Each structure stands twice: as C-alpha cells, then as structure tokens.
Amino acid sequence: MKIFADSGSDLPKEFFEQNNVELFPLRVDINDTDYNDIVEIEPKTVYDAMRQGAVPKTSQVSPELFLQKFEELAQSKEEGLYIAFSSNLSGTYNTAVMIAAQVREQYPEFKLKIIDSKCASLGCGLVVKEAVKLRDEGVTYTDLIEKINHFTQHMTHLFTVENLDYLAAGGRLSKSSAFIGGLLSIKPILHVEDGKLIPLEKIRGRKKAINRIIEIMHERGGDFSNKVVGISHGDDLTFANEVKALIQDKLQPKSFEMTLIGAVIGAHVGPGTIAIFFTDKDY
C-alpha cells in the first residue's frame, strides 16, 4: 500500500524518506521566489525572513505533481491512500480529488482513497504516523481507511500565536483587533473545528494562555496516560520544551512528538506559535 501526505502535515523530510511515504509539497513564495515546502526551503529560513519584515505567500500542491504520482500509482496497480491537509485551509484536497477523477477515467481500476483529514500541522502528521503504523502492522486496506477516518475525527488542535499581525495579514483576524491585542498582550487560544481555525478564548499573557490550554487539554482529553501529545512550534524550541515540561507535570501523557511548524503553515501563524495536538476522550 502506498501512503501519500502533503507538507501541511509538518513532518520532517527524514520521516518521508524513512517510512516510504510520498511527499506532496505545498509551495511558499518569499520575496518573489517560489519554493517547494520541505524539499527546497527550511522553515527557519521563512521565520527569519518574517522577522525581517517579509510577507510570505503560499499556494497548494502542483496539479502536475498529483497527476504524475497518481498515474504512477494507477500503472503499478497498488492500493493508495492520501491523507490531505484540511480542505478548509487549503485547496490541495479538492485539486487532488479532481486529478484522481481524471486519472480514473483512463485507469478505471485505479485504487486511491483521498481523506480530507480536517487536520493541520502535526495534527495531520499524527494521523499520517498512525496510518504508517497500521500499514506496517499489516492492517487491510479497507480497515486502515476506516480506522484513519475515525482517528481524524478525534484529533484535537489547540494553539496560540506570539504575534497577532500574522493572523491579521492572512485575514484570520482584523487589523484593528491585532493592534489592540498587541497593546494588551492578548494571546488568542484557537482550535480547529471541522477543519477551520476558530478562536476559542482570549488570554492576557503567553504563560497564562499555555496554562489555560493545559486546562482545556484535561477537559477534552481526560486521562492522558495512554495518549501521545504532539507539540509543534514556530522556531521557538526553548519555549516548546517549557510547554512540554508543564504538560508532563500536569497530565503525564504516554509520550510526546515534537516538530517545527513548516514553512507553509508558519507563513500564516508566524514565529513563536505553539500548537498542541491529542485525541479527545471519546477515542
């Protein structure tokens, strides 16, 4: 079985190379130069450019790349699964569905399931990791798809940003709210609902926002002793490790996964962002 994932999953390049997962890079444009996320640009390059005033633009996976890889899969007659970054945050999923339909006209036996994960960053990455684990355990194609669909529905995202201006630049927040919030040191707590970014609460101060996020984690996640907690950060490993220690102290999860927020998502949330991912109580 062939597994595909895009760079909206914020998994490092080595993960794709070591786990036989095909990468579809989204693209980021900095100072009029277009790069394939992960493949041609490091997230730190984007964060450093943003700190110097650059306003990166992002775009979805190239339709030509989808066509090439889907045709190769069809010709191999192998089963395929593509776990896509949320369709409410990128047009990538819809483009993939369109290209797959086109390929199916020529190859009626083409077996590819495209899942709209409704997840982002390491939330999507944890879904991809679960799919790899199930594949490697020998779970059948049908069962794997069913389990992954279920897993995506129970993935919780909670995050806060250091600088509201980046959310305002991307249209996620009004410029006046960003300005006032900056003056008052307001840190919004956001989550993902049906694949969309939704503000949850506004807290004054970064540490208070993190403490509130941990309270929400307990409310939504219950017992963490058998849960993996994902942490992704906008080029602030020191603070991410502080957050990890707080979560360890208060919730004692089974394990942690930590990653840098990639260039494409980082372009919208900015340096200093911290995001937390886990499955909810019902999973």
pLDDT digits (tens, 9 = 90+) for 36-84: 999 999 999 999 999 999 989 999 999 999 999 999 999 999 999 999 9
Q: Is the dihedral of CA 36, 42, 47, 48 positive or negative?
A: negative
Distance CA 176, CA 268 (A): 18
Confidence of residue 165 (pLDDT cuts 50, 70, 90): low
Helix (H) or strand (E) holding 157: strand 155-160
* Residue of higher predicted confidence among 179 and 137: 137
State the pLDDT at residue 122. 97
- Percent of the chain past pLDDT 90, that is, above it, reads 80
Amino acid present at 106? Q
Please give the mean pLDDT across all residues of the chain. Answer: 91
Is pLDDT at 228 greater than 60 in this prediction? yes
State the pLDDT at residue 181. 44
What's the N-to-C CA distance of the chain in angstroms?
A: 25
Range of lowest pLDDT (16-30, 186-200, 237-251)? 186-200
Q: Which residues pair with 231 in a beta bridge?
A: 258, 276
State the pLDDT at residue 183. 43
Number of helical H runs and strand E runs in the chain: 11, 13
Confidence of residue 176 (pLDDT cuts 50, 70, 90): very low
State the pLDDT at residue 187. 82
Query: Where do the domains of the chain lie, and which CATH numbers do they carry?
Result: 2-25+61-153 (3.40.50.10440), 155-279 (3.30.1180.10)
Is pLDDT at 180 greater than 60 in this prediction? no
* Residue of higher predicted confidence among 185 and 152: 152
State the pLDDT at residue 266. 93
State the pLDDT at residue 202. 86
Confidence of residue 164 (pLDDT cuts 50, 70, 90): low
**Tokens describing residue 189:** 């707590």
Mean pLDDT of 185-198: 84
CA separation, residue 265 to residues 3, 71, 92, 99, 173 (Å): 22, 28, 13, 24, 16
Is pLDDT at 205 greater than 60 in this prediction? yes
* pTM (predicted TM-score): 0.93
State the pLDDT at residue 114. 98
Helix (H) or strand (E) holding 244: helix 237-251
Mean pLDDT of 23-46: 94
Mean pLDDT of 201-215: 92
Mutual orientation of helices 92-106 and 63-76 as an angle, nearest 10°?
A: 40
Is pLDDT at 227 greater than 90 in this prediction? yes
- Percent of the chain past pLDDT 70, that is, above it, reads 92
Closest CA to 113 of 156, 73, 61: 73
State the pLDDT at residue 199. 82
Confidence of residue 168 (pLDDT cuts 50, 70, 90): low
Closest CA to 119 of 146, 94, 156, 145: 156
